Amino acid sequence: MPTVLIIDDNAAVAIALDVLFSLHDIGALRATSPEEGLAILEQTSVDLVIQDMNFSADTTSGEEGTALFRDIRRRHPDLPVILLTAWTHLDAAVDLVKSGAADYLSKPWNDNRLIATVTNLIELGQANRSLRQRVQQERRVRRDLEQGFDLRGMVWQDAATERVLHLACQVARADVPVLISGPNGTGKERIAEIIQANSLVADGPFVVLNCGALPAELIEAELFGAEAGAYTGASRAREGKFEAADGGTLFLDEIGNLPLAGQMKLLRVLETGRFERLGSNRERQVKVRVISATNADLGAMIRAGTFREDLFYRLNVIELRLPALAARPADILPLASAFLPRGKSLHHCAQAALLAHAWPGNVRELKNVMARASLLAAGDIIKAADLGLPVTVAASVEVEPDRDAIVQSMARAGGVVAQAAADLGLSRQALYRRMERLGIAR
């Protein structure tokens, strides 16, 4: 049951409110003085405060109520407060509402309006508490990840990315193959590096082979090595990626491009740790953690007969699905800022353009866009036009800067309003009006 604290020295008022709330399943606590009310707040959790504006006899200035409100706001900044006021100090109540009071009601009050206001504020407070708890939980999870694991400088903010990171760190020390799936350019190799860095073979080599970057006839030689004369141009013996990765991790990117003959040999290595170089009959033994990645639909390839089903299940002991950048939008701005050189920052219109873009090339495309923009921008502020992105309806609409954007611009400008206004694309007078409305000190 939600609880309201009534701070009023008039017993009749307090009893009337208590009865009214009891009819709507709302608990009520009563205090007859500011001191008693503040003491109750220190000892008991309440959802809302209703306070009078005067407590001393023959006092109508509202100064006591103002002082009480400011004490409550200082000690409990998120607690909603409703002011009970008479016409003689209505202006004081209005000023306090501007300072953060939830509402004011004149005596005598309207029961229906009071109940509606109290109910709405209690529900809003509960929603805000749930949001704060979720944010705190997310911060704890992030802190645990950052402090407990080597994340290789990974930049993220989106919960979808965090879930992948958490699972990657969770399985890193398990000696099993991992398959990382997702579109091209999403950062699959970075996830593989994180798994390696937190694995039992973290001190071993980390070897990368892009199976899609080599002709099919050379992939086997790259994987397993070759003796001199094993194929045209092989003038001397060479070791393959498995030998190079012995005691560490082999990352096979675009595993779907591996030809069927190479798939069969890879399956044998995964099962036994043994293989032969091309052109050799001598078996070699290695101990390698294999991480593979693909943007292909391996299930469809199995049905088409171009990928071995037994290899798929051997590789897919643990699968990590890394979403496209558009599916984790909270990552876009942190990544964009990380790709900028020190001293450069994003105009709020550029931020809106980045968020409106579909990012078919994912993180790789974003990195290239920021590199180009940092070279083309006339100053240290990256504007939307510097990005070279297609103009969309969402990006072409003038974006009203929010409080954070204004505070950041003022900080960059060292408090010079004219410079911050130019940064935000506003006149100085327009910025002054927004600062006054949002309560930002000059």
What confidence tens digit (pLDDT) does each residue in 162-198 have? Answer: 999 999 999 999 989 999 999 999 999 999 999 999 9
Nearest to 203 by CA among 289, 143, 316, 273: 289
**What span, in angstroms and rounded, lies between the C-alpha atoms of 201 and 37?**
61
Residue type, 377: A
What's the token pair of residue 409? 């611009």
In sequence order, what DSSP letters do the residues of 339-390 get, joined into one string?
A: HSPTT-EE-HHHHHHHHHS--TTHHHHHHHHHHHHHHH-SSSEEPHHHH-PP
Give, in order, the Cα–Cα distances in Å from 376 to each of 133, 318, 406.
Answer: 43, 43, 24
**Residues 395 and 332: beta-carbon distance below 8 Å:** no
The pLDDT of residue 395: 44
For the chain, give the mean pLDDT.
87
What's the token pair of residue 385? 């036009």
β-pair type (103-106, 178-181): unpaired
**What span, in angstroms and rounded, lies between the C-alpha atoms of 271 and 252?**
16
Which residues are registered as beta bridge partners of 210? 253
Kind plus residue range of the DSSP H or E element containing 301: helix 298-304
The conformation of residue 238, written as its DSSP 8-state character, comes to: B
pLDDT, tens only, 151-163: 999 999 999 999 9
**Residues 327 and 214: beta-carbon distance below 8 Å:** no
**What span, in angstroms and rounded, lies between the C-alpha atoms of 314 and 327?**
29
Ordered mean pLDDT values, 10 residues apiece, the chain (442 residues): 91 91 93 93 93 73 84 88 71 68 80 90 84 84 92 93 95 94 95 96 95 81 83 76 94 92 89 86 91 94 95 94 95 96 91 93 96 92 91 50 79 75 76 80 68
The conformation of residue 89, written as its DSSP 8-state character, comes to: G
Task: Let me know the angle formed at the C-alpha of 356 by 346 and 151, rounded to the nearest 5 degrees.
Answer: 65
In sequence order, what DSSP letters do the residues of 115-180 get, joined into one string?
A: HHHHHHHHHHHHHHHHHHHHHHHHHHHHHHHHHHS--TT-----HHHHHHHHHHHHHTTS-S-EEE
What count of other Cβ atoms lies within 10 Å of the Cβ of residue 402? 12
What's the token pair of residue 315? 């590789």
What count of other Cβ atoms lies within 10 Å of the Cβ of residue 210? 16
What is the phi-psi region of residue 362: left when phi exceeds 0, alpha when psi lies from -120 to 50, beta otherwise? left
The pLDDT of residue 286: 92
Kind plus residue range of the DSSP H or E element containing 90: helix 90-98
The pLDDT of residue 394: 41
The answer to whether the predicted template modeling score (pTM) of the entire model surpasses 0.75 is: no
